[in-house]
Amino acid sequence: MNQATPRPHERIWPQRLPRKLNVPATSLSFNLEVTARRFPDKAATIFFGREMSFSELQASADSVAGWLQSVGVKPGDRVALFMQNCPQFLSSFYGILRANAVVVPVNPMNKAEEFAHYITDPEAKVAICSADLAAVVETANTAVPSAKRLTHVLVTKYSDAMNEPSHIDPADTPSAALDAWLRSDPALPAQGQGSAAYLRWPDVLAQKLAPGPNTAQPDDLAVLPYTSGTTGNPKGCMHTHRTLMHQTCGIQWSHGSPEAIGLGVVPMFHITGMVGMSAAVFAGSTVITMPRWDRELVGRTISRYKVTHWTCIPTMVIDLFGSPNYKSFDLSSLRFMNGGGAAMPAAVAERLEKEFGIVFAEGYGLTETAAATHANPPERAKPQCLGIPIFGVDSRVVDPSRLKELPPGEVGEIISHGPMVFKGYWRQPDATAAAFVEFEGKTFFRTGDLGRMDEEGYFFLTDRLKRMINASGFKVWPAEVEMLLYKHPAVQEACIIAARDAYRGETVKAVVVLRAEAKGKTTEQDITDWARDHMAAYKVPKLVQFADSLPKSGSGKVMWRLLQDAEPK
């Protein structure tokens, strides 16, 4: 198809939206500075009833930036950010950027063996974490070579941003277990030989250290989120201020405005939650921040704060509908609901529209594309559909071997070109080269996902070229889980495949060959229990099957596809 030929989706493009965005040539941290001047007293976030204004957010971010520079963080240095959603995440995120440094967001579900990679690969010397994860950081830090270790760790308690229990409205009250976790105050690691210096959040903010000039340029590296792959170890995706700014400015798509009230329950370490947070700061809207999913609390929160915008994953909606109290929740304030990561079941989408008048707008994107490259226009959404290419995006469906564009209706690999596409994998030139292809004079990113496009230009996902398991929107890469399982003393070989799951869509299954001395002594539950202690919970095999051997090719490679194809559909 000729490059000048209009793309099919342009014929149904919403009249209210521009085709392309004019993106500011400034840094992400400048967005906070501007908004703090425009709306100094407006709540940037509310955390269990306690408000943090935009001016307070900027002041705390500046203090973090000043401290980072005082301990030697230079422009372009990478700083690990390791915590659940909370106001301190926002302060840290913008503080790192204000220090002209690079945010390395890390999944707080990671264990020490996993976190060590986020110290050594980006060569981070400083980390900011929650108190409950300080021991994970220390265990990982002492396990890496001394020359590669963190030197400073800033630690915060979630309760640093909360009201006292007596001052929390009943609607904001977490469950007893959640409250106990939020208010826990684990002891900091001892300052022993080889240990990093651990500092408390209130002590650092009290110093009120002023940062130097904001020198970050649009094309400087801003965030290094990691995505796993078939090689096992996660790879850093290089995103600049410009690639993320484009997504940040796309609030028009979802009717974003300073009057919007968002629900921040999707993890902010994840690119989707991060872009949502960044867009809210840019727009001056308020986000009700939640560290963990709690359907009863979510229902009460939407009702109390009149939440207007909610980005979520379908399993959250399914779970909310499963609450015995959901009829008492007032969801009438919701104006826009969107999400991705997994297809929204048609029955649930129909229930949302019938009972609450809400059209769920599905979207599609990857860490490499800073979240969405496709989205359903809210006024013209199609069910179980990725949507149309958004602002400035050119997407095609091509034959993955010949790289020739396929006509509507035919299945091929989705490739995308756009201003939000990442700049490559951190220090992995071969992987970067393999991720891009020249097509019609432009550089396109190969998503590795198979899909089709209909006559109107809407895209639909059909399968994946890449070997990946999608469990409730969490991306699980089998090679990474296999590498960890091989550390189990009873495991001789392991192969990870996807198994059907009524709730999660897919779940993780391990086919394991035990060592001779472990046969008859090691149970499936033993494998699962060990995995729970050594990897993030969403990666833990929920099913374990023992086998005498794994099928292999003539070159000795495990033929995982044979095991996958034998799994009941």
Other CB atoms within a 10 A radius of the CB of residue 55 amount to 16
The mean pLDDT value for 276-289 works out to 98
d(CA 114, CA 39): 40
Q: What percent of the chain has pLDDT over 90?
A: 77
Pairing of strands 371-375, 442-453: unpaired
β partners of residue 286: 261
Report CA-CA distances (Å) from 381 to 23, 132, 522: 26, 41, 50
Q: Which CATH number fits domain 49-216: 3.10.450.50, 3.40.718.10, 3.40.50.980, 3.40.50.150?
A: 3.40.50.980
Domain with CATH 3.30.300.30 in the chain: 469-566
Q: What are phi and psi of 468, to 5 degrees?
A: -150, 150
Other CB atoms within a 10 A radius of the CB of residue 73 amount to 24
Q: Round the average pLDDT of the chain to a whole number and report it.
A: 93
The three-state DSSP-derived secondary structure of 203-222 is HHHHHCCCCCCCCCCCCCEE
d(CA 390, CA 373): 6
pLDDT per position as a tens digit, 450-484: 999 999 999 999 877 677 888 888 888 887 898 88
Q: What is the pTM of this model?
A: 0.89
The token pair at 16 is: 């209210």
Classified as helix, coil or strand, 471 is strand
- CA torsion sign, 461 to 467 to 469 to 475? negative
pLDDT per position as a tens digit, 199-232: 999 999 999 999 999 999 999 999 999 986 555 6
β partners of residue 387: 459
| pLDDT for 193 | 58
d(CA 263, CA 41): 20
Q: Do residues 563 and 495 make contact, with C-beta atoms less than 8 angstroms apart?
A: yes
Q: Do residues 259 and 285 make contact, with C-beta atoms less than 8 angstroms apart?
A: yes
Q: At what angle do helices 271-283 and 241-248 cross, to 10 degrees?
A: 70
d(CA 370, CA 471): 20
Domain with CATH 3.40.50.980 in the chain: 49-216
The mean pLDDT value for 529-537 works out to 95
pLDDT per position as a tens digit, 361-390: 999 999 999 999 999 998 899 988 999 999
Q: Do residues 386 and 460 make contact, with C-beta atoms less than 8 angstroms apart?
A: yes
Tell me how far apart the 2 most distant CA atoms of the chain are, in Å.
68
Residue 192: band (very low, low, confident or very high) from pLDDT cuts 50, 70, 90: low
| pLDDT for 194 | 64
Higher pLDDT, 121 or 379: 121
Classified as helix, coil or strand, 374 is strand
The mean pLDDT value for 144-166 works out to 95
Identify each DSSP E strand in 150-215 by its residue range.
Answer: 152-156, 197-200
CB within 8 A of 496, min separation 6: which ones? 469, 476, 478, 479, 481, 482, 485, 508, 509, 510, 511, 541, 560
Q: How far apart are the first and last CA of the chain?
A: 36
CB within 8 A of 30, min separation 6: which ones? 24, 214
d(CA 395, CA 416): 4
Q: Do residues 451 and 480 make contact, with C-beta atoms less than 8 angstroms apart?
A: no
Q: Name the one residue in this structure whose structure tokens are 């008492």.
A: 328
d(CA 513, CA 494): 6
Find the angle CA(275)-CA(278)-CA(282) to the nearest 5 degrees: 135
For the domain made up of 469-566, the CATH class stated in words is alpha beta
Nearest Cα residue to 206 out of 59, 52, 36: 59
Report CA-CA distances (Å) from 352 to 321, 332, 355: 9, 11, 6
pLDDT per position as a tens digit, 408-446: 999 999 999 999 999 999 999 999 999 999 999 999 999
